[in-house]
Structure 1
Amino acid sequence: MNKLFEEAASVIDQIESRGFEAYFVGGCVRDYCLDRPIKDIDIASSAKPEEIQRIFPKTIPVGIEHGTVIVRYNQVSYEVTTFRKEDKYEDFRRPSKVWFVTDLEEDLSRRDFTFNAMAMNKNFELIDPFNGREDLKRQQIRTVGKPEQRFSEDPLRIMRAFRFMSVYGMRIEEKTKLALKNNAPLLKRISTERITVEFKKMLEGEMAGKALQLMQDCGVFPYMPYPLEEISEGSFLSFDWSSLESEEQRWAAVIVLTKVDDERDFLKQWKLPNKVIQSVLTILSSYKKTGWTKMDLYTTGLTSVLSGLRLRCLIQDESYEEQERKLKHLADEIIIQSRDEIPLNGEDILQIKQESPGVWVGQLFQELEKEIVEGKLPLSEREIRDWVRRWGKQ
């Protein structure tokens, strides 16, 4: 028995002992059926939120108006949600009204995809009214009920479909795909932050290239936070996306393949953190550059240079290992990693030169740093002092 389920079964026992039903639901059941790692356990119950609060001494009413309470049990958090049915989604995110119900199947019927509409009791018996297990076996993504309705309720489900396709290596069932295509313009109603979360998760999947290609084929690109240009057929499939090692590399790959003109604006439109934006821009700069010098490596950093190189080699089908070896050898010859390692500071320079402070101090330091990095001047305090004395007299 999975240890997480074993521990969570005690929560279900507590609820059932009070005469209510309770089941494992959602992603944990899906991932259990796929024999994938399980992160969080979600529970659905016929007990109303206030009844859950009476059963457990430690609860957090995170979404109590929609029936959700976090239960703290043996130092673990479990999201327990009352069986419910929903009214229309007026804001394309949350239903305008929910009703608590006592029937599990009625609760499962409101969910997005069939493999997310499965439940399991504490004895690992599956409740699967919409054949989600069969869809998992067939490796297909299919909505619960009418796909047009599911996507119009919450258009973010369009992005979730592509995410599941990428992460789980599935295909999207034809009726679901058609509805996804028809409802793509509704993505304009969804906040950038929500789209970005799903897009980032999609890029992490091994089938990200196929998912991006289908996004283009279904006409989703124009409705992204930064509208993406269509590219030639197969470009997204030209390399193995799982070879990319970081979030920043994946964003850089999207920019390169879709030929984005204003790279910084693209990244800002997706509302990425400034640190991520700067890292992506550095990788892109490295991607475009050839003929690296020691000073280039010193200012950019070997990690960013190799990240850009790996991206270029993947996209342009170049050999990576030999270029990596040469760059690492060049980096090994650089005797300092930062200006702090130079055995002189600004006060030392003023004392040696016997001059008033000014912009010349910064200029001297820049030239001194370059001389040391390029191997023209050893990291010797005596020789550096001699060089400082000579500076400006050439």
Structure 2
Amino acid sequence: MQLKQLPEEFKQALPILTTITAAGFEAYFVGGSVRDTILNKPIHDVDIASSAYPAEVKNLFKKTVDTGIQHGTVMILDHGHGYEVTTFRTESGYQDYRRPDQVTFVRSLAEDLMRRDFTINALAMNAKGVVTDLFGGLTDLNDHVIKAVGDPAARFHEDALRMMRAVRFSSQLNFQIEAETKQAIASQAELLTKIAMERIHEEFVKLMMGQAASQGVEQLISTKLYQYLPGLNERVSELRPLADQKFELANENQVWSFLAMTLGISASQVSDWLKKWKTANKIVKDVTEMVQLLTVIKSQTVSNWDLYVAGRQNVLDALAVSRWLNMPYRPDLLQHYDQLVITQKKQLTISGKELMQNQIVTAGPVLGQVLSYLEQQVVAGDLANEPDLLVLAAKNYVQEISK
């Protein structure tokens, strides 16, 4: 197969291939960028593989960075772009089920492609757009199939994360997992416990944002991978209906809030759950607020304060998620949010410093309590955001709590 028209990303990287091949070495575009180009999808990282050893690559270019020199990877800096060139290699001895104990540099493209995960990723393309396919990857792309290169059990034993990648690709590309490959995942699913949760987290979020996410969920269940995923392992009966339900999620906050509502995980339980997934603190906070908001949307008891606490972006995301939860759709809530008198505490027309200057309260816990009271009253629409009125309200509140 030869691609007649290369995407701009490849065209910009062609001087790298030209320089390497002019020196007598082989060089190819490899992996996901080749796959996605054939599928007419946007490409992201342009990866290059070469028969040149790292020292030989470095000798050919003025600006390089040893990004993964022990594994044969050198980054070439060219006109503001960084291109990773990795030497053809073989790998062996995967004691941690993730990284090879030994990497051997080789001159053979065939040996390099043989170590890759799936046939659709074991593709190489030269500067003229000619694709090298040694394992039937083009046929599998055409047939929409995810198939391991060689023995699937061996591929997953080398890197157990590949099991999650298989299911993720199934969701993202709307491909089916080939029977022998799927059986190998099911028989070795427990190996997922050997993988850092951060890596599993990344694959899972991509899966849930795929074009065929429900299919991805079905694959998680049928391969038994769900048994090793926090929160899913004990709620498979709540998870299972998602295998038959269409849903489209646009970001990670939507993923986790949608799942929390589906699995029956309350706002107070979100933090403990997502920490098991090694989720970033900001996302934990946002998801907690979104689940709180979705809960009151469901019960039709949304207040100004609920919208205020969530923030505009979380309101938007919660509304998007609510559609897939079969809730009453409330686009008016965004309008309500935009009509709030304030959307941040700092927008109050009086500060803690001014309250102390007016001798209404001294520094300490009570000061924070007074400011929170004023904030809630203004957000609720029960108190105008005017300095004189806020001072009076603060005085009355202090007198009330001092009784």
Q: TM-score, normalised by structure 1?
A: 0.90
Distance change in 2, residues 1:295/1:82 (3 Å): closer
Given that 2:312 and 2:334 are in contact with CA atoms closer than 8 Å, whether structure 1 keeps it comes out as yes
Contact persistence 2:168–2:216 (CA under 8 A): yes
Greater mean alpha carbon deviation, residues 84-93 or residues 111-120: 84-93
Is 1:155 paired with 2:165?
no
- How far, CA to CA, are the matches of 1:71 and 1:351 in structure 2? 60
Number of the residue aligned with 2:290: 283
Q: For residue 72 of structure 1, give the secondary structure of its aligned residue in structure 2.
A: strand
Aligned partners of 1:151 and 1:180 also within 8 Å: yes
Deviation, 1:311, is: 2.4
Match of 1:4 among 6, 9, 18: 9
- Deviates further, 43-52 or 83-92: 83-92
One of 79, 85, 94 as aligned partner of 1:74: 79
Q: Note if 1:311 corresponds to 2:321.
A: yes
SS in 2 for 1:241: coil
1:332, CA displacement in angstroms? 4.5
For residue 112 of structure 1, what is the amino acid of its counterpart?
D
Give the TM-score normalised by structure 2: 0.88
SS at 2:45 equivalent: coil
Q: For 1:342, give the aligned amino acid.
A: L
Q: How many Å apart are 1:38 and its aligned residue?
A: 1.6
Among 185, 188, 191, which residue is 1:180 paired with? 185
Shift of 1:99: 2.3
Specify the SS of the correspondent of 2:65: strand
1:379 positional shift: 3.1
Amino acid at match of 2:374: L
Which has the higher mean CA deviation after the structures are superposed, 139-148 or 230-239? 230-239
The 3-state SS of whatever aligns with 1:112 is: coil
Distance across 1 between alignment mates of 2:382 and 2:43: 56
Structure 2: any 5+ residue segments left out of the alignment?
A: 1-5
Aligned to 2:377: 371
Q: Distance in 2 between matches of 1:75 and 1:274?
A: 33
Q: Cα offset for 1:185?
A: 0.6
Residues 141 and 161 in structure 1, CA contact (< 8 A), matched pair in contact too:
yes
**Matching residue of 2:236:** 230
Shift of residue 234, structure 1, vs aligned partner? 5.1
What's the offset of the Cα at 1:109? Answer: 1.0
Please give the alpha-carbon distance, in whole angstroms, between the structure 2 residues aligned to 1:177 and 1:186: 14
Task: Name 1:213's counterpart in structure 2.
Answer: 218
> Any conservation in 2 of the 1:286–1:309 contact (CA below 8 Å)?
no
Q: CA deviation at 1:353?
A: 6.0
Identical aligned residues as a percent: 36
Structure 2 Cα separation of the partners of residues 206 and 224 of structure 1: 21
Q: CA–CA distance in 2 between the matches of 1:230 and 1:362?
A: 44
Return the alpha-carbon distance in structure 2 between the equivalents of residues 354 and 21 of structure 1: 78
Could you tell me how far apart the structure 2 residues matched to 1:64 and 1:357 are?
A: 56
SS in 1 for 2:331: helix
**Shift of residue 354, structure 1, vs aligned partner:** 6.3
Q: Measure, in 2, the Cα distance between the counterparts of 1:367 and 1:375.
A: 12
Report the counterpart of residue 31 of structure 2 in structure 1: 26
The corresponding residue for 2:331 is 324
Contact 2:289–2:309, Cα closer than 8 Å, also in 1 = no
Give the partner amino acid of 2:327: E
Q: For residues 173-201 of structure 1, what are the alpha-carbon distances to aligned partners after superposition, in whole Å with 9 as ceiling and x for unaligned?
A: 11111011111111111111211121122
Structure 1: tracts of 5 or more residues without a match: none
Map of 2:64 onto structure 1: 59
My pick for the range that moved more, 203-212 or 381-390, is: 381-390
Give the superposition deviation at 1:373.
2.6
Q: Secondary structure at the match of 2:48?
A: strand
For 2:398 and 2:87, locate their aligned partners in 1 and report how far apart those are by CA, in whole Å: 78
Code of the residue aligned with 1:204 in structure 2: it is M
Matches within 5 A, 1:229-378: 229-231=235-237, 235-237=241-243, 239-242=245-248, 244-260=249-265, 262-289=269-296, 290=299, 291-315=301-325, 317-320=326-329, 323-325=330-332, 327-350=333-356, 352=358, 360-378=366-384
Q: Is the 8 A contact 1:213 1:234 kept in 2?
A: yes
Contact 2:76 2:85 in 1 (8 A): yes
Cα deviation code 1:347-367 (max 9, x no counterpart): 544565667666554444344
